[in-house]
Amino acid sequence: MNTANYQYLFFNDYSEGAHPRILAALQNSNDMQELGYGEDDFTLQASDLIQQVIGNQAAAVHFVSSGTLANIVCLSYLLKPYESVIAVSSGHINVYEAGAIEATGHKVHELSAVDGKLTPDAIHELMNRMTDEHMVKPKVVYISQSTEIGSIYTKKELENIATVARKNNLYLYIDGARIGHAVMGKNADMNLQQIAELADIFYIGGTKNGGLMGEAIVIPNPNLQAEFRRHMRQKGALLAKTRTVSIQFVEFFKDDLYFANATFANQMAQLLAAGISQKGYRFLTPVLTNQLFPIFPNAIIAKLKPLFGFYEWQKLDNEHSAIRLVTSWKTQKSAIDQFLASL
C-alpha cells in the first residue's frame, strides 16, 4: 500500500515510532551490560513498578514482544490439551490472529457480543451445553479491555463476568492491548488495580500506547505463576534482551506516562468525534476510547480514501458504511482539522 499521499494515517495507534522518553531510555541504556532473559535490573524495576500500580507485590510480571504472542503464551499455558477458550465472535483471537490460538491445539468458542462485550448469560448458556465428557471443556474466558469496537467493560460488568467464570471453574484472561485507553476512557469506572483483582492473567499493552513494542503479562493468581518462564521459553517468547521491552515499562510507570499517553489519544478521539457529530454524522458505537466508527455515505468514504488512511469496517446498507479511525498518543490536532476540513 502506498501511503505517501495520505495526509494522516488513522489506521491504527502504532503508526508512529515510540514516545521520545522511551526512545531516550533505550538510547541511554545502550552501553550498559545487563543479564539476559529478564533477570536484568530494568526488568526487576519495571516489574516492581507494575506491582505497585496494581497494588499486588506478589503478582508475577513478564515481558513479551507482541499482543499475539501474549495471547498464545497465556492461553496455551492455561489450557490442557482437551480444553478450550471462550471469546466473543469479534474477539481479536477469533478474527485477527490467523488461527494462532487454534494452532496451539485449542478450540475458540465464538459467542455473540452485546456492544462488543461478552455477557454472563452467553457464558452460562455455553457452559450448560458443554457438559458431556466427549466434548471439549471450556476453561478460559477471554475478553479484551477495551474491546474490538472500542467499548469498555464497566466495573459491574467485569465483576459479573468474573463471578460467572469463578462459578464455572473458568480462568479469566484479559487482553489489554488497549487497557490504558480503557482505564482512561470516557465514563470508565475501573483502574488497573481493580482489573488486576478480577483477572487471573492479563496483559498491559505497550505497542499501542507509545511504546516501541512490547507488552507486560501480569499474573495475579499465585497458583498460575510456576513454570511460566519455562513455558515462555518453549514458545519462543522469552527474550534474551527482555530489557529492551522492560525499559519501556519503567518509563511508562515511573510516573504517569502510560496514563498520559492513553488520555491524550482518547482526547484526540473525542475532538475528532465532536467535529464529525457537528457535521451531522452518527457513529456505529459511542466513542469512549481511541477508536471511532463514524457512519458515512459510501460516496464520501470514496473521496476521503485517497487522503487519509483508515479501514472500512462495516457495510450498513447500500449507501452507508462505518469506517474505523484510530487516534494515538501522537495524533496532532492539525491531523484532525485536516480530516474535518476534507469531510
Ligand X SMILES: Cc1ncc(COP(=O)(O)O)c(C=O)c1O
CB of 181 to ligand X, least distance (A): 10
Half-sphere exposure of residue 291, counting CA atoms within 13 Å on the CB side?
A: 29
Q: How far is the CB of 177 from ligand X (least distance, A)?
A: 3
Q: Which of 207, 209, 289, 291 binds ligand X (CB under 6 A)?
A: 207
Calculate the alpha carbon distances from 210 to 201, 214, 249 in Å: 23, 10, 10
Determine the size of the site formed for ligand X (CB under 6 A).
Answer: 8
Does residue 68 interact with ligand X by CB under 6 A? yes
Cell representation of residue 222: 499465585
Residues within window 169-188 making contact with ligand X, judged by CB under 6 A: 175, 177
Site track 7-46 with ligand X (rule: CB under 6 A), x = hit: ----------------------------------------
Least distance to ligand X, CB of residue 176, Å:
8
**C-alpha cell at position 215:** 507488552
Please state the closest distance from residue 58 (CB atom) to ligand X, in A: 26
Cα angle: 339, vertex 342, 343; to 5 degrees: 85
Which range in 23-31, 64-72, 185-193, 289-297 contacts ligand X by CB under 6 A? 64-72
Considering Cα of 247, then 13, then 74, then 122, what sign does the dihedral take?
positive
Q: Which is nearer to ligand X, 207 or 266 (CB)?
A: 207
Which residue, 19 or 51, has its beta carbon nearer to ligand X?
19
- Residues in 121-160 that interact with ligand X by CB under 6 A: 144
- In this chain, which stretch among 30-38, 53-61, 62-70, 113-121 interacts with ligand X, using CB under 6 A? 62-70
Q: Reduce the DSSP state of residue 144 to 3 states and report it.
A: strand
Of 232, 233, 204, 200, give the one whose Cα is nearest residue 219. Answer: 200
Helix (H) or strand (E) run with residue 219 in it = strand 215-219
Q: On the CB side of 17, how many CA atoms lie within 13 Å of its CA?
A: 7
Q: How many CB atoms lie within 10 A of CB 115?
A: 13
CA distance 64 to 56: 20
Residue 201, CA distances (Å) to 87, 149, 177, 250 in order: 15, 22, 13, 20
Q: Does 290 bind ligand X (CB under 6 A)?
A: no
Tell me how far, at minimum, the Cβ of 207 lies from ligand X, in Å. 5
In whole angstroms, give the CA distance from residue 241 to residue 25.
Answer: 15
CB of 245 to ligand X, least distance (A): 12
**CB 175 → ligand X: shortest distance, Å?**
5
By the criterion CB under 6 A, which residues form the site for ligand X?
66-68, 92, 144, 175, 177, 207
